[in-house]
Amino acid sequence: MTVVTVEAKHTFSANCYLAASSTGHCAVIDPGAEGEGIIAVLEDRGWTPGMILLTHGHFDHIGAVRTLQARYPGLQVYLHKNDLPFVTGDPNVLTPGMLLSAQRSGRSREDFLLSVDHFLTEGQTIALDDLTFTVIETPGHTPGSVCFACGDCMFTGDTLFHHDVGRTDLYGGDAGALYQSIQKLSRLSRSYRIYPGHEEPSTFAEEQEFFKAFLEHRV
Ordered DSSP codes for 145-204: -EEEEETTEEEEETTEETTEE----STT--HHHHHHHHHHHHT--S-PEEEESBS--EET
For residues 170 and 173, give the distance between their C-alpha atoms in angstroms, rounded to a whole number.
Answer: 5
Pair 64, 70: CB distance under 8 Å: no
Q: Hey, where are the domains in the chain?
A: 2-218
Query: Residue 36 above 80 pLDDT?
Result: yes
Return the amino acid letter for 183. Q
Architecture of domain 2-218: 4-Layer Sandwich (3.60)
Is pLDDT larger for residue 34 or for residue 93?
34
- Per mean pLDDT, which range of 38-42, 48-52, 87-91 is the poorest? 87-91
Query: Residue 54 above 60 pLDDT?
Result: yes
Q: How confident is the model at residue 134 (pLDDT cuts 50, 70, 90)?
A: very high
For residues 50 and 21, give the distance between their C-alpha atoms in angstroms, rounded to a whole number.
Answer: 10
Is pLDDT larger for residue 115 or for residue 94?
115
pTM of structure: 0.93
